[in-house]
Amino acid sequence: MPQAYMAETGHEATGAKPADSAVRRFLSGWRGPGVWRRGLVIGALALLLGLLMLMHAEIPNRVGNLGSLTETFLPWLGLFIPVLLALAVLRRSASALIALLLPALVWINLFGGLLAPKSHSGGDLMVVTHNVNADNPDPVHTAKAVAAAGGDVVALEELKPDAVPVYERALASTYPHHSVQGTVGLWSKYPLSEARPVDIKMGWTRALRATVGTPRGPLAVYVAHLPSVRVKFNAGFTAGQRDDSAAALGQAIARERGKRVVLLGDLNGTMNDRSLAPVTSQLRSAQGAAGDGFGFSWPASFPMARIDQIMVRGVSPVAAWTLPDTGSDHLPVAARVKL
């Protein structure tokens, strides 16, 4: 056979294909001592990421409430894991791959349980909470969308005084009983009693407490809208007023004599945020107990955090989920509970 022909068909002559050669070259890079020395920076970043998630509770809040800010978006830190994994593979670094086990295991330990389906059918009562947005351009549409969800008890937050009659008219046929206190309201298919405002140290009313007379007995329902938090370059994560209101709300719930309690509202914080401990230490999250996934509720256009909460004590959540966009900047959240 001519030598020129042999050169042109070298792959066929040797039995090797271009793809096989590329794979061999890639695998050969994983041999030798260099595989452990390469990618040390990537490995260090992986360890730092793992320690950040593992010890998030130790991040101080003294400077710009950095700890609460980290805890608010803690699940999203997991996005760095596949990025670092890709870099480790491209760098052919065994040490970086081993280091990535730490953040991967920590993230799974923190949030893996949320990915498993936990919702069930049944339940005695469906509750809904929704921040309707004070600047909502179409409150009638929002009210009808909430009513169409089929909840038995509905809490609304951020009600402007001039919009309250709009919601009252739109919800009257579905919910014959309601109470509005300040900028929060509660609508119910069942009778309400003992409705009153709850002081959460705001200077105006943004929380209420009422007893819902369900067919299975009384249920104490709290509706709350804790102050907003802001991220400012010169002040960090400003949440002092929110934290004070959370403490006041926690004290009110601690004084509650009813055995069955449901808290509905926009808490402007996630269950991971230590500053909400006065509340979260007494109640459990319906989403955490019976939801599928993270249930992010804000912002509605691209939900990144669950700051709208349904929390319970003395009742059992059987399902929890978010509802479709209603035109507000928050998504409504719903849960079914067994009394």
Give residue-wise pLDDT tens across range 31-62: 666 788 889 999 999 999 999 999 999 998 77
Q: What value does the mean pLDDT of the chain take?
A: 90
CATH number of 125-338: 3.60.10.10
Per-residue pLDDT averaged across 294-312, rounded?
96
CA 191 to chain centre: 31
For residues 228 and 240, what is the distance between their CA atoms, to the nearest angstrom? 10
Q: Looking at residue 22, what is its pLDDT?
A: 58
Say whether the peptide bond before residue 176 is cis (omega within 30 degrees of 0): no
Cβ(101)–Cβ(85) under 8 Å? no
Q: Looking at residue 116, what is its pLDDT?
A: 85
Q: Looking at residue 171, what is its pLDDT?
A: 97
pLDDT of 231 over the 70 cut: no
Cβ(253)–Cβ(279) under 8 Å? yes
Per-residue pLDDT averaged across 199-204, rounded?
94
At residue 23 the predicted structure's pLDDT band, cuts being 50, 70 and 90, is: low
DSSP 8-state secondary structure symbol assigned to residue 291: B
pLDDT of 136 over the 90 cut: yes
Of residues 269, 274, 294, the one with CA closest to residue 78: 294
For residues 99 and 48, what is the distance between their CA atoms, to the nearest angstrom? 10
Please give the residue that has the higher pLDDT: either 22 or 228.
228
Please give the residue that has the higher pLDDT: either 8 or 248.
248
Please give the residue that has the higher pLDDT: either 164 or 17.
164
For residues 224 and 185, what is the distance between their CA atoms, to the nearest angstrom? 9
pLDDT of 119 over the 80 cut: yes
Query: 159-164 long-range CB contacts below 8 Å, 24 or more apart?
Result: 159/132, 159/134, 159/183, 159/184, 159/185, 160/134, 163/132, 163/134, 163/136, 163/139
Per-residue pLDDT averaged across 122-133, rounded?
97
Cβ(116)–Cβ(312) under 8 Å? no
Least confident interval from 63-72, 113-122, 197-206, 261-270:
63-72
* Domain parsing of the chain, residue ranges: 32-115, 125-338
Please give the residue that has the higher pLDDT: either 239 or 338.
338
pTM (two decimals): 0.86
pLDDT of 314 over the 70 cut: yes
At residue 182 the predicted structure's pLDDT band, cuts being 50, 70 and 90, is: very high
Beta strands in the chain (DSSP E): 125-131, 153-157, 177-181, 184-188, 192-197, 207-214, 217-225, 230-232, 236-238, 261-266, 284-285, 308-313, 316-322, 333-338
At residue 65 the predicted structure's pLDDT band, cuts being 50, 70 and 90, is: confident
What pairs with residue 320 in β-bridges? 291, 335
Phi-psi region of 291 (alpha: psi -120 to 50; beta: other; left: phi over 0): beta
Place of tokens 């491209």: 90
pLDDT of 102 over the 60 cut: yes
For residues 258 and 5, what is the distance between their CA atoms, to the nearest angstrom? 91
Q: Looking at residue 6, what is its pLDDT?
A: 45
Cβ(212)–Cβ(221) under 8 Å? yes
For residues 241 and 184, what is the distance between their CA atoms, to the nearest angstrom? 18
3-state secondary structure of 259: coil
Please give the residue that has the higher pLDDT: either 1 or 155.
155
Cβ(153)–Cβ(187) under 8 Å? yes
